Amino acid sequence: MLIVDKELCIGCGICEDNCAFGAIDVVDGCAVVGDTCTLCGACVDSCEVDALKIEGGEKSVQVDLAAWSGVWVYCEFRGGVLAPVSLELLGVGRKLADARGVKLSAVLIGADTGATAEKLIAYGADIVYRADDQAFTYFTDETYGAVLTDLISQHKPEVVLAGATAIGRSFIPGVANALGAGLTADCTQLDIREEDGALLQTRPAFGGNIMATIVCPSSRPQMSTVRPKVMKELEEDTSRSGAIVEVNLEPAMLESKVRVLESVISEHDDVNIQESDILVGGGRGLDSEKGFELIRELAMHLNGAVSASRAVVDSGWIGYPHQVGQTGKTVAPKLYIACGISGAIQHVAGMQSSETIVAINRDENAPIFDVADFGIVGDLFEILPKLISKIEGHRKS
Amino acid sequence: MKIIVCIKQVPDAKDVRLDPVTNTMAREGVQSIMNPYDQHAVEEAVRLKEQLGGEVTVLSMGPPQAEEVLREAISCGADHGVLVSDRAFAGADTWATSYTLAKAVKKIGDFDLILCGKQAIDGDTAQVGPGLAIQLGIPFVTCIQKVREASAKELVMERMMDDGYDVLAVEYPALITVVKDLNEPRVPSLKGKMKAKKAEIQVFSAEGVGADPAKIGLAGSPTQVVDVFPPPPRGERAILTGSIDEQIEQLVVKLAVYL
Ligand SMILES: Cc1cc2nc3c(=O)[nH]c(=O)nc-3n(C[C@H](O)[C@H](O)[C@H](O)COP(=O)(O)OP(=O)(O)OC[C@H]3O[C@@H](n4cnc5c(N)ncnc54)[C@H](O)[C@@H]3O)c2cc1C
Ligand SMILES: Nc1ncnc2c1ncn2[C@@H]1O[C@H](COP(=O)(O)O)[C@@H](O)[C@H]1O
**Mean pLDDT within A100-128:** 98
**Min CA distance, B172 vs chain A (Å)?**
10
Instruction: Assign A22 to helix, strand or coil.
Output: coil
What is the helix (H) or strand (E) element at residue A301, kind and residue range?
helix A292-302
B4: Cβ below 6 Å to ligand 2?
Answer: no
* Residue A280 reports pLDDT greater than 90: yes
B197, burial (CB in 10 Å: exposed 0-12, middle 13-18, buried 19+): exposed
* CA distance between the termini of chain B: 56
- Please tell me if the CB atom of residue B123 comes closer than 6 angstroms to any atom of ligand 2: yes
* The total number of residues written for chain A in this structure: 397
Q: With 70 as the cut, is the pLDDT of residue B176 above it?
A: yes
pLDDT above 70 (res B235): no
Give the model confidence (pLDDT) of B36-93 as tens digits.
999 999 999 999 999 999 999 999 999 999 999 999 999 999 999 999 999 999 889 9
User: What distances in angstroms separate CA A38 from CA A54, A321, B131, B177, B253, one per listed residue?
Assistant: 11, 32, 19, 24, 47
Confidence label for B26 from pLDDT (cuts 50, 70 and 90): low
Written as one letter, the residue type at B243 is S
Q: Return the percent helix, strand and coil in chain B, to nearest 5.
A: 35, 30, 35
B128 pLDDT more than 90:
yes
The fraction of chain A above a pLDDT of 90, given in percent, is: 77
Return the CATH number of the domain spanning residue range A2-54. Answer: 3.30.70.20
Residue B231: strand, helix, or coil: coil
Q: Could you tell me which residues are beta bridge partners of residue A329?
A: A324
Assess B28–A contact: CB distance below 8 Å, yes or no. Answer: no
Q: Which pLDDT tens digit goes with each residue over A144-174?
A: 999 999 999 999 999 999 999 999 999 999 9
Nearest Cα residue to A88 out of A228, A207, A199, A192: A228
Residue in chain A nearest B88 by alpha carbon: A1
pLDDT band at A266; cut points 50, 70, 90? confident
Residues of chain A with CATH 3.30.70.20: 2-54
- For helices A380-396 and B244-254, give the axis angle rounded to 10 degrees: 50
| pLDDT value at residue B155 | 98
Residue of B nearest to A59 (CA): B219
Give pLDDT, residue A275.
Answer: 87
State the ligand closest to the CA atom of A339.
Answer: 1
How many other CB atoms are found less than 10 A from the CB of residue B205?
A: 13
Q: Give B168-225 as a DSSP string.
A: EEEESSEEEEE-GGG--PPPPPHHHHHHHHHPPEEEE-TTTTT--GGGSTTTT-S-EE
Q: What pLDDT score does A230 carry?
A: 87
CATH code, residues A65-254 = 3.40.50.620
What is the Cα–Cα distance from B203 to B82, expressed in whole angstroms? 6
CATH number at A273-396: 3.40.50.1220
Q: From its phi and psi, is residue A42 left (phi > 0), alpha (psi between -120 and 50) or beta? A: alpha
Residue A250: Cβ-neighbour burial (10 angstroms; 0-12, 13-18, 19+): exposed
State the Cα–Cα distance between residues A59 and A228, nearest whole angstrom.
31
- Model pLDDT, residue A54: 83
Q: Are B13 and B35 in contact (CB under 8 A)?
A: no
If you average pLDDT over residues A64-79, what whole number do you get?
95
Give the torsion sign (CA, B51, B52, B53, B56). negative
CB contact at 8 A, A149 and A175: yes
Between the CA of A348 and the centroid of ligand 1 the distance, in Å, is: 10
**Averaged over A177-204, what is the pLDDT?**
94
Element (H, E) at A274: none
Residue B12 has pLDDT above 90, yes or no: no
| Residues in A touching B147 (Cβ below 8 Å) | none
- Mean per-residue pLDDT for B100-107? 98
Q: Comparing C-alpha atoms, which of B116, B34, B37, B32 is closest to residue B75?
A: B34
Beta-sheet pairing, A104-110 with A189-192: unpaired
Cβ burial, residue A239 (10 Å; 0-12/13-18/19+)? exposed
Q: Tell me the H-state helices in B53-158.
A: 67-75, 94-108, 128-136
For A86, other C-beta atoms within 10 Å of its C-beta total 30
Q: Taking residues B216-232, what's their average pLDDT?
A: 86
Q: Nearest to residue B238, comparing CAs of A388, A282, A356?
A: A356
Residues in A touching B161 (Cβ below 8 Å)? 139, 166-167, 263
Q: What are the tens digits of pLDDT across the range A11-45?
A: 998 888 878 777 888 999 999 988 778 777 778 88
For B2-227, the fitting CATH number among 3.40.50.620, 3.40.50.720, 3.40.1190.20, 3.20.20.300 is 3.40.50.620
Half-sphere exposure of A79 (CA within 13 A, CB side): 13
Name the 3-class secondary structure at A232.
Answer: coil
* Position A69 pLDDT exceeds 60: yes
Tell me the HSE value of A342 on the side-chain side, using a 13 A CA sphere: 7
Question: From the candidates B142, B163, B176, B181, which should be mutated to test the interface with A, based on the most A CB atoms within 10 A?
Answer: B163
Tell me: pLDDT of A308 over 60: yes
